[in-house]
């Protein structure tokens, strides 16, 4: 019997894995089908461009903004980042503007040496600032995170000294995977509605 995603192990995959985008798209599409039906999709990319490691979220947001998609709403780009100083007001605005939004939280995180370069997808919120001992509100019905460097010691220094190449590659993979999954989900929903309408008219 298939377990609901709330009970499943989050997907964790190195960005160098062959077909990493396909793996992420498949997981995200199914999660959207199971959890987002009828709800406006809102993507909140947390981070700041003042720190290389912490710029993953804003880079993803900027990449996604280039698609100009009507199928999701976006907060957090390089130009207008969502970070510790404005996260609370951003979440208030999201809930004011959208009725029962399905929020996808995106952030960079720190982890063990063997996990650096891994992309994670799971149910439940991301917890921004946890790696640097900041108490910030959780973000998202589901989350996408990229492990950009090693945690446990001098976290701010580590984030500042993260390789930009790694962050940009992960940002490219995550943004393309998320856009593709939302497109798949939107087309599947549209086809289902058309089939239902056609059967109603028979």
33/17 Cα distance (integer angstroms): 25
Residue 168 near residue 59 (C-beta atoms within 8 A): yes
Residue 147 near residue 54 (C-beta atoms within 8 A): no
The confidence band for 1, taking pLDDT boundaries of 50, 70 and 90, is: very low
Q: CATH no. for residue 96?
A: 3.40.50.1450
Of 73, 89, 77, 76, nearest to 40 by C-alpha is: 73
User: Domain limits at 44?
Assistant: 5-200
Q: What is the pLDDT of residues 82-98, one digit of tens each?
A: 999 999 999 999 999 99
Q: Greater confidence, 172 or 187?
A: 172
The structure's pTM equals 0.89
Q: How many domains does the chain have?
A: 1
């Amino acid at each position: 019997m298939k377990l609901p995603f709330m009970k499943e192990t989050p997907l964790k995959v190195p960005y160098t894995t062959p077909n990493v985008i396909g793996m992420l798209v498949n997981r995200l599409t199914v999660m959207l089908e199971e959890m987002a039906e009828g709800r406006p999709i809102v993507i909140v990319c947390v981070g700041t461009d003042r720190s290389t490691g912490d710029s993953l979220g804003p880079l993803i947001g900027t990449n996604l903004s280039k698609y100009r998609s009507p199928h999701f709403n976006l907060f957090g780009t390089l130009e207008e980042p969502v970070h510790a100083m404005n996260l609370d007001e951003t979440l208030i605005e999201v809930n004011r503007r959208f009725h029962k939004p399905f929020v996808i939280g995106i952030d960079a995180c720190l982890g063990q040496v063997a996990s650096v370069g891994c992309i994670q997808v799971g149910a439940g919120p991301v917890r921004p600032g946890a790696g640097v001992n900041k108490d910030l509100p959780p973000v998202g019905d589901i989350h996408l995170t990229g492990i950009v460097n090693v945690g446990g010691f001098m976290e701010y220094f580590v984030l500042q000294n993260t390789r930009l190449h790694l962050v940009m590659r992960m940002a490219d993979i995550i943004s393309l995977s998320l856009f593709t999954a939302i497109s798949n989900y939107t087309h599947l929903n549209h086809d289902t509605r058309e089939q239902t309408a056609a059967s109603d008219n028979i």
